[in-house]
Each structure stands twice: as structure tokens, then as C-alpha cells.
């Protein structure tokens, strides 16, 4: 894409998009242009439709991935190329709302107990106890842990929006042990390890965190398809079960719309297990 890529990158920065969003959009735009092997200013609405059908019907990409591609393409034509008419009539893929798969408290315990690595134990505890997204745990630095105020500062949440969450006292103790025992040089709380010992001056990758969680989930042989993000779902659901109101939970999770948070009201874990047995009161 050459100069168009540079201009798109500058436009994304001016629009205040997060670094991760900029990288993803530029990558999607590059693949879109490469698919046709023509300059982007020579592509038409029909080309966009053809590409979206290709990733839908042939590549069978997930809805979330297709939404990201279309977001990048719309930004490219609307903002950078100033040709909004090319993408004006391209419909957004519809995402089916599914209730999140939420582990019970007992299952969270099983997952944490099965984690033999102290490094990943601290990582998973942080994800659950603070309700953080994978990218938010990865980006944590020592300075974000405010022990005096009892808060964790999330500097770059989804959409690059900052927020604060409660620092659980037990989690603080775990993180202090994690810092001392691994002799972390800082500033990253979860830095990337060097194979022969020591730490890189960069955080662990999101892919590495997800892979580590999958290994532990497979080890516990839980029947449900849990992911690292399931710990955040558990945080939200368990707080609701403990009486935290929806508006407060929305702030803690960093949701822009309360309708997103309200999805958790449809999901219960321990509350279902605690439902009284009606059959026990029958003389059968």
C-alpha cells in the first residue's frame, strides 16, 4: 500500500485509535489490497463485496474477524481515501448474541489449583480477581498496582479507555510474591521470558497467555469449552451473584453500553447449583 498505508496509519492516530486497533486495521487493509493486487484507490464497491463474500463463504472467518476487516476497509475508504460512497452500502455482518460460558467458583478453583507454574498462577488470578481482559493483564506494569489506594489502574482498556478496578488484598500478596520470586526487573508485571533465563523488556504475548490457559483447561478435563476470557465472565457473574449492582459492574468491566453488561444477568453458576430440590419434599 505504500504511501496510502502511511496516511491511513496517521489517520488512525489522529482518530485516537488504540495501538492494537491500528495494527489490526492496517493488517486487514493490507490483506484486502493484496487480494486484488491493485492500488486501493482503483478498487470499487464491487471489489469490497467480492472480498467480504470471499472471507465469509470461502474462508469461513468468524463474525468478529469479518467485522474487523470491514471496519478497516470502511476506515480506509471513508477517511483515508475520501471515497465513502464505495462502502456506504456494504452491510455489517450480524453477530449472534450468545450467553457466555461461565465457570463456577469451584471450576475456577480447579483451574488455579491445576496451574503448576507460579507465573501463570499469578496471571490467571489477576484475570479473575480484577476481571481484566487478556490484553489488559498483559499490559500491566508495576506502577499500575496502587497498594495505598487499593486499586489497579487499567491504562489502556478496550477502545483505549482507562479505568480503575479494586485490588484484592489477597491478589496484592500474590503479586508481591510473584515479583520477588521471579526477580522481575520491571516495568512489566508479566514480562516475556528469555529461554536461557532472564526477562525481555516487553510483556508476554496474548497468544502465549491463551495457550497456557488451554493447557491448564485440558489438564483439568472440564467438559465445557472454557477460554482465558472465561475468567472475566466468571468475575462478572460471581459479583452479580454476590449483590453488586449492574451499573457498578458496568464501570468495573469498562463496558460502554449497559446492555452489554446486562447479558450477565441471564447467566448464573453457583446460584443454579444452590436452587432447592423440590423432589426432596415429595414422598416418592
Point out the residues that are catalytic.
133, 158, 229, 232, 255, 264
Residue 133 sits at the vertex; the CA angle it makes with 128 and 135, to the nearest 5 degrees, is 130
Q: Exposed/middle/buried for 85, CB within 10 Å: 0-12, 13-18, 19+? A: exposed
In whole angstroms, give the CA distance from residue 202 to residue 3. Answer: 29
Q: Which residues contact 249 (CB under 8 A, 6 or more apart)?
A: 236, 239, 240, 261, 264
Residue 123 · residue 137 · CB < 8 Å: yes
> Among candidates 6, 159, 157, 152, which has minimal Cα distance to 76?
6
Residue 153: C-alpha distances to residues 125, 189, 275 (Å): 16, 13, 37
Amino acid at each position: 500500500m505504500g504511501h496510502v498505508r502511511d496516511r491511513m496509519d496517521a489517520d488512525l492516530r489522529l482518530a485516537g485509535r488504540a495501538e492494537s486497533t491500528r495494527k489490526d486495521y492496517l493488517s486487514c487493509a493490507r490483506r484486502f489490497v493484496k487480494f486484488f493486487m491493485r492500488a486501493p484507490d482503483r478498487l470499487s464497491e464491487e471489489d469490497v463485496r467480492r472480498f467480504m463474500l470471499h472471507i465469509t463463504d470461502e474462508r469461513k472467518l468468524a463474525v468478529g474477524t469479518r467485522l474487523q476487516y470491514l471496519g478497516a476497509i470502511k476506515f480506509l475508504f471513508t477517511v483515508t481515501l475520501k471515497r465513502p460512497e464505495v462502502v456506504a452500502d456494504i452491510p455489517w455482518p450480524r453477530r449472534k448474541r450468545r450467553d457466555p460460558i461461565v465457570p463456577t467458583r469451584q471450576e475456577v478453583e480447579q483451574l488455579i489449583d491445576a496451574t503448576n507454574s507460579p507465573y501463570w498462577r499469578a496471571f490467571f488470578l489477576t484475570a479473575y480477581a480484577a476481571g481484566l481482559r487478556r490484553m489488559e493483564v498483559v499490559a500491566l506494569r508495576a506502577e499500575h498496582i496502587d497498594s495505598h489506594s487499593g486499586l489497579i489502574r487499567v491504562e489502556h482498556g478496550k477502545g483505549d479507555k482507562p479505568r480503575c478496578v479494586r485490588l484484592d488484598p489477597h491478589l496484592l500478596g500474590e503479586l508481591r510474591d510473584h515479583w520477588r520470586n521471579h526477580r522481575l526487573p520491571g516495568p512489566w508485571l508479566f514480562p516475556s521470558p528469555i529461554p536461557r533465563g532472564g526477562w525481555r523488556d516487553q510483556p508476554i504475548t496474548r497468544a502465549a497467555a491463551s495457550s497456557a490457559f488451554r493447557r491448564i483447561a485440558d489438564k483439568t478435563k472440564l467438559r465445557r469449552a472454557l477460554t482465558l476470557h472465561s475468567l472475566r465472565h466468571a468475575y462478572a457473574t460471581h459479583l452479580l451473584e454476590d449483590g453488586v449492582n449492574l451499573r457498578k459492574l458496568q464501570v468495573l468491566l469498562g463496558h460502554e453500553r449497559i446492555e452489554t453488561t446486562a447479558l450477565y444477568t441471564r447467566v448464573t453458576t453457583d446460584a443454579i447449583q444452590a436452587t432447592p430440590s423440590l423432589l426432596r419434599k415429595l414422598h416418592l
